[in-house]
Structure 1
């Protein structure tokens, strides 16, 4: 761990303590006023019916070198592989509109990343470094019987896809990233734009032990509901049903899932190094929901500095959850990008 990484990790932890204090004061006040509601958590033994919808695909497990991943696949085997990688606090179900739309022409696979839903949840922060998820992708492509894929990522899944593209470009035919910049360009942008630092307050909070997990657990995982349907942070244009919310709560409440998901953020600050983003030459499409409460629109533009073959589509009324918010528009953008002969 280099000096910069130590300083960066220490600074984020210190700021996290400030936010943690504020969150705990607010939490204490909520518990005092609503003791019964605060500590009620529904028992979730079986998955909601929407997760068992056969039209979305079939459920599988795949054993990689160090982890077993769960995934849902749709479309005929042998067709080109289209691999989807979700973000936080999601799982394969966030690609429900894409699993059905692209199954006619592709073998569509949406994974649960390590730590999420039905996938293995290795103990320890350092099992959630970006390099670990990159290795998972490197192994899953040949394990599925393919030499390359169309790779699609959102949020943390996008960060993993950026890192994967810089290291293993020969395994990607085309790259699609939604609402996520390359990690190497995030900090320079944030330092130049204090408003982005403020929007990233939760990253600092997530550096603290147990407090983030406790706040997600409180009031029957109410924060999961707020993230996807709350005013300002949730889906803007589309709809997200009670069943959808229940699905996200089910996945995030699996034993060890909340800590594993938050460990992505903890590992990132402990391994962050000050370096420029690696040049990427793969045909790349960025789709950006401009009503994102956590990530500013300018983060998409900065990616032009390190991607030579890049086009960006902005959906002005979409939230961070762009593939859920406006799935028809997102799907049409992806289709056009895949058909574009100039990007082959």
Structure 2
């Protein structure tokens, strides 16, 4: 585990600085890179990751943006209050809202993947005035997800883990088995190194973090079956077509939930697309943002 901490410290010294932000009586571990006077690009990570999953994007965009990634509540170095009730989507979107203000910004370019992506969709629906552009990666609009989760058998089968994680305590033991072997199996793709894997293991192995992170899933069904509503924010959906958890069909027919949507599919890309194909993802992000700026002018 010490290798991951060393890796993180080296990355800190070269690319950004970290700090602790207080929001809603919680301490959040925040990582920043770039001039704070530039527009904010805020990253929301997924499971079983942490802020470090955005290292490639931080490097790519810190010259033009104030890049900020953070350990979401219950993850890594951030506080993890006990109890399922402390991990509802409303509380987590509230964290995002307050953090943007604490960072000294009024709006952001919001980027989300997996669980962070679900929160991103929810945040864009609830706080549209705070999101200039939304970039979602391998995560559908929640209302589209709930559609397929009710009748599309392939997606129901692929979502087995959501139902498994509803069981008390046993899933925590399963995640920890074999020195968190699940992370080796699921996250080792593309340009992800053994040292990167150790960083994710270090984050989730901190006391109590496996339990608090799984509480996200224990509130997920409520999130999915409570309508999120239409997202009017201009949005880019980047989708790896070899996702083992989310069927590519989820990336279609989303326009009814997000009229200003552009979809870019990466053939053969996996669920952890921002780490699996970072150069291509960064190119698509930059192309989209430059196009949107041109249209705005």
> TM > 0.5 between the two?
yes
- Alignment pair present for 1:156 and 2:115: yes
Deviation at 1:277, TM superposition (A): 4.1
Deviation at 1:273, TM superposition (A): 6.8
- Alignment pair present for 1:342 and 2:295: yes
Runs (4+) off by over 6 Å: none
Q: Among residues 249, 252, 256, which one is paired with 1:305 in the alignment?
A: 256
| SS at structure 2 position matched to 1:302 | coil
Deviation at 1:130, TM superposition (A): 0.9
Q: Among residues 41, 62, 67, which one is paired with 1:82 in the alignment?
A: 41
Write out aligned runs for 1:279-290 (5 A): 279-290=230-241
C-alpha spacing 1:227/1:111, structure 2 compared with 1 (3 Å): same
Write out aligned runs for 1:93-242 (5 A): 93-229=52-188, 235=189, 238-242=190-194
Deviation at 1:315, TM superposition (A): 0.3
- Alignment pair present for 1:266 and 2:218: yes
Give the number of aligned pairs: 293
Structure 1: gaps of 5 or more residues? 1-43, 230-234
1:96-118 Cα offsets, whole Å, 9 max, x none, are: 00111100101100111001100
C-alpha spacing 1:187/1:273, structure 2 compared with 1 (3 Å): closer
Q: Which residue of 2 aligns with 1:73?
A: 32
Indicate conservation of the 8 Å contact 1:185/1:277, yes or no.
no
Q: Which residue of 2 aligns with 1:62?
A: 21
Query: Alignment RMSD, CA only?
Result: 1.5
Q: Which residue of 1 aligns with 2:270?
A: 319
Q: Which residue of 2 aligns with 1:25?
A: none
Measure the CA separation in 1 of the matches of 2:266 and 2:224: 32
1:69-123 Cα offsets, whole Å, 9 max, x none, are: 1111001121110000000010000000011110010110011100110000010
TM-score by length of 1: 0.82
TM-score by length of 2: 0.95
Measure the CA separation in 2 of the matches of 1:245 and 1:47: 8
